[in-house]
Structure 1
Amino acid sequence: MDLTTVLGKDQGLLALSMGIEWHELSPEYSVATMPVEGNTQTFGILHGGSFVVLGESMGSIAANVYAHQNGLGTAVGIEVNASHTGSGISGFVIGTCRSLHLGRTLTTHEIVCTNEEGKRLSTVRITNLIKKAAG
């Protein structure tokens, strides 16, 4: 999926350098993948911050799609948290993003990160503030 077509811009250098690829994108439901290789910490497992980058990227982009579709402005993250419950060792992490709240000023998304076998590795939650367009 080409984010430039959807948003008029790409996903940013950090997400690109981490190999995040989009497969589905809507304000309510999105799917993206990220390779474990190249995103590991000292002990060879996926760095916990990688889950946060995947989750924050997914939630922020979904919130911006919502904000732009509804003429509300631009969404910016104001809170993110993550609970890691497993380790990514190889292959790909699959992020599934679902909206919990889509309002005029706030959005909240939950991103469940699993391995290719479907085992939950991390749960990320992000709240975005929608800033009205200037003018």
Structure 2
Amino acid sequence: MSDKFTPHPLAAELLAAGVPVELHPLMSPHGVGTLVSKMGIVFTQMSIESMVATMPVESNTQVTGLLHGGAHVVLAETLGSFAAAFHAGAGRKVVGIEINATHHRGIAEGLVTGTATPIHLGRTLTTHEVVMRDPAGRRLSTCRITNMILDR
């Protein structure tokens, strides 16, 4: 039996997105997905208890120069879905079934930090609250996402 580590086929993408090497085996064959890369989302903490990532405002704005509301939701869905997948474990997949967002304040520049924390971790459903904050720690938006866990 060999202890040799086989790198994930998308190791460079995973590293660029902040996914630690020790978590690569848990990732799907699709890596983090193309939207995560396009939005500039980078994970800073990955666990079942807390999934955290940053996203730049630059290149993710709406016509008035503020961070697009949909960008908030992309970050929230990314964090909630990854957190649900970590809870579900290998051999299972998750699909989003509901998400909502409340936008509290705008942001025109800088880096947004999103944090997903579990509200419910069940056998077939998970629900996470995802809070986006500006660099000063002010709440920008609050999302709630529910994922269904499926056997492959």
Equivalent in the alignment of 2:52: 31
Moved over 6 A (4+): none
Shift of 1:8: 4.2
- State how far apart, in whole Å, the 2-side matches of 1:26 and 1:78 are: 21
User: What RMSD, in angstroms, separates the aligned Cα atoms of the two structures?
Assistant: 1.4
Q: Any gaps of 5 or more consecutive residues in structure 1?
A: none
- State how far apart, in whole Å, the 1-side matches of 2:40 and 2:128 are: 21
Q: Please give the TM-score of this superposition, normalised by the length of structure 2.
A: 0.82
- State how far apart, in whole Å, the 2-side matches of 1:8 and 1:83 are: 30
1:41 and 2:62 matched = yes
Equivalent in the alignment of 2:36: 15
- State how far apart, in whole Å, the 2-side matches of 1:82 and 1:101 are: 18
Equivalent in the alignment of 2:102: 83
| Superimposed CA distance per residue, residues 30-58 of structure 1 (whole angstroms, 9 cap, x where no aligned partner) | 11000000000000000000000000000
Equivalent in the alignment of 2:19: 2
Identity %: 49
Q: Is the 1:7–1:65 contact (alpha carbons within 8 Å) kept by the matching residues of 2?
A: no
- State how far apart, in whole Å, the 2-side matches of 1:16 and 1:33 are: 12
The number of equivalent residue pairs is 131
Q: Which has the larger radius of gyration?
A: 2
Q: Please give the TM-score of this superposition, normalised by the length of structure 1.
A: 0.92
Q: Is the 1:84–1:123 contact (alpha carbons within 8 Å) kept by the matching residues of 2?
A: yes
Three-state SS of the structure 1 residue aligned to 2:105 is coil
| Superimposed CA distance per residue, residues 86-131 of structure 1 (whole angstroms, 9 cap, x where no aligned partner) | 0021100000110111000000001100000001000011000001
Q: Any gaps of 5 or more consecutive residues in structure 2?
A: 1-17
